[in-house]
């Protein structure tokens, strides 16, 4: 049924992606387990868990912001954009699983390497979505090549997430810090790119 209607407005794509991302970001909280111990000792024992949850939440949130801005650039989606978007959502939907992997294995090397690998794969699937959308923009004549800095930053983050994979075998906590750092670089909007006027107002 999908084949006879090549172009469609992006509004339902946005609504569906928002729904999926909203569920992904929220069900991760179900992985947080109340500690058996009472009092402050119990709370302290869940702090590493909260840190991992915070990284996963931030990672998902940053992709939502980027998704928001990327899809905003086109007004109609084609089959390629539709399927690239579903591929991206599939990769992102595995994050809660790999988050609970890290939590249940108590931050061991292998699970942190997996966690970093899942972030690299998600980043790669987002790159495919970006290419599908740029192709659509070229067809629609709305492409402008001014986002070289952003693309450089995107590739750099993929590289740094990728670096966490071997790093996890030697220093799991350094690998986790690397992942957290890359996520923070994305949060601070102007980090790694030229400062924008708006932020100096």
Residue numbers 43-62 binding a copy of itself by CB under 8 A: 43, 54, 57-58, 61-62
* Nearest to 136, CA basis, from 1, 10, 40: 10
The 10 Å Cβ neighbour count of residue 20 is 17
Using CB under 8 A, count the residues that bind a copy of itself.
78
- Closest Cα to residue 73, out of 21, 139, 8, 136? 136
Q: Which stretch binds a copy of itself (CB under 8 A): 99-107, 159-167, 174-182?
A: 99-107
- The 8-class DSSP code of residue 193 comes to S
Among 44, 51, 68, 174, binds a copy of itself (CB under 8 A): 68
Among 94, 93, 67, residue whose Cα is nearest residue 13: 67
Q: Among 7-15, 160-168, 177-185, which window interacts with a copy of itself (CB under 8 A)? A: 7-15
Asked if 65 touches a copy of itself (CB under 8 A), the answer is yes
Task: Kindly state the smallest distance separating residue 131's Cβ from a copy of itself, in Å.
Answer: 13
- Give, as ranges, the residues between 123 and 142 that touch a copy of itself (CB under 8 A): 130, 139
Residue for token pair 């070229």: 138
15-44 binders of a copy of itself (CB under 8 A): 15-16, 18-27, 29-30, 32, 34, 38-40, 42-43
* Beta bridge mates, 9: 76
Q: Which of 48, 78, 124, 128 binds a copy of itself (CB under 8 A)?
A: 78
- List Cα–Cα distances, 187 to 1, 41, 66, in angstroms: 40, 31, 11
């Amino acid at each position: 049924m999908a084949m006879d209607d090549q172009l469609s407005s992006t509004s339902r794509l946005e609504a569906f992606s928002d729904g999926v991302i909203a569920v992904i970001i929220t069900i991760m909280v179900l992985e947080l387990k109340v500690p058996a111990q009472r009092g402050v000792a119990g709370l302290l024992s869940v702090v590493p868990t909260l840190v991992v949850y915070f990284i996963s939440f931030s990672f998902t949130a940053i992709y939502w912001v980027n998704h928001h801005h990327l899809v905003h650039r086109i007004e109609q989606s084609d089959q390629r954009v539709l399927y690239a978007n579903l591929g991206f959502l599939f990769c992102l939907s595995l994050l809660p699983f790999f988050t609970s992997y890290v939590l249940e294995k108590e931050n061991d090397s292998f699970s942190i390497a997996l966690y970093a690998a899942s972030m690299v794969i998600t980043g790669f699937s987002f790159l495919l979505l970006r290419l599908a959308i740029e192709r659509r923009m070229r067809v629609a004549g709305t492409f402008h090549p001014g986002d070289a800095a952003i693309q450089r930053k995107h590739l750099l983050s993929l590289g740094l997430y990728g670096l966490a994979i071997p790093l996890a075998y030697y220093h799991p906590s350094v690998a986790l810090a690397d992942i957290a750092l890359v996520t923070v670089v994305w949060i601070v909007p102007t980090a790694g790119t030229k400062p924008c006027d708006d932020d100096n107002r």
